Structure 1
Amino acid sequence: MQVLQVQLDVGPDPAEVGRARRWARSRLVGSGIGPDEPLAETLILLISELVTNAVVHTGAAAVLRMCFSGAGAVVGTVRVEVADASARPPRQRHADGDDTNGRGLELVDGLADRWGWQQEGAGKRIWCEVDRGQPVLVASATGTELGRLSSVAR
Structure 2
Amino acid sequence: MSTRARPAATQLTTAPPSAVGHRFPYTHRSAGQARTALRHQLQVWHINGELADSAELLLSELVTNAVQAQASAGPEVGVRFVWADGCLRLEVRDASDELPVMKDAKEDEECGRGLALVDALASGWGVDRDGTGKTVWAELAVCDASAPRPAPAPLSP
TM bracket (short chain): 0.7 to 0.9
SS at match of 1:93: coil
1:81 aligned residue (91, 94, 110) = 91
Q: How far apart, in 1, do the equivalents of 2:47 and 2:81 lie?
A: 13
1:16-71 deviation digits (Å, cap 9, x = unpaired): 2111111110101111102xx0110000000000000001221142100010013x
Give the distance between the partners of 1:27 and 1:135, measured in 2 at CA: 19
Q: Is the 8 A contact 2:87 2:140 kept in 1?
A: yes
**For the residues of structure 2 that align with 1:32 and 1:16, how far apart are their CA atoms?**
24
CA–CA distance in 1 between the matches of 2:131 and 2:43? 32
Q: 2:65 matched to 1:53?
A: yes
TM-score by length of 2: 0.77
Aligned amino acid, residue 53 of structure 2: E
On the 8 A contact 2:77/2:92 being kept in 1, the answer is: yes
Residue of structure 2 aligned with 1:120, choices 130, 134, 141 = 130
The AA in structure 1 aligned to 2:54 is T
1:106 counterpart (116, 121, 124): 116
Amino acid at match of 2:37: W
For the pair 1:91 / 2:104, whether they are aligned, the reply is no
Q: Distance in 1 between matches of 2:35 and 2:138?
A: 16
Greater helix proportion:
1
Paired residue secondary structure (2:46): coil
1:12 aligns with 2:26: yes
Which has the higher Rg, Structure 1 or Structure 2? Answer: 2
What is the aligned length?
Answer: 128
- Given residue 85 of structure 1, which amino acid in structure 2 is its aligned partner? A
Identify the residue that residue 28 of structure 1 maps to in structure 2.
42
Task: Give the fraction of aligned pairs with identical amino acids, expressed as a percent.
Answer: 36
**Which stretches in structure 2 are left out of the alignment for 5+ residues?**
1-16, 147-157
Higher strand share: 1
Listed as ranges, the gaps of 5+ residues in structure 1 are 71-75, 137-154
Q: Which amino acid in the other structure matches residue 141 of structure 2?
A: D
Contact 2:24–2:30 (CA<8 Å) still a contact in 1?
Answer: yes
What are the Cα deviations for residues 112-140 of structure 1, in whole angstroms up to 9, with x where unaligned? Answer: 0000001122200100100012788xxxx
Q: Secondary structure at the match of 1:14?
A: coil
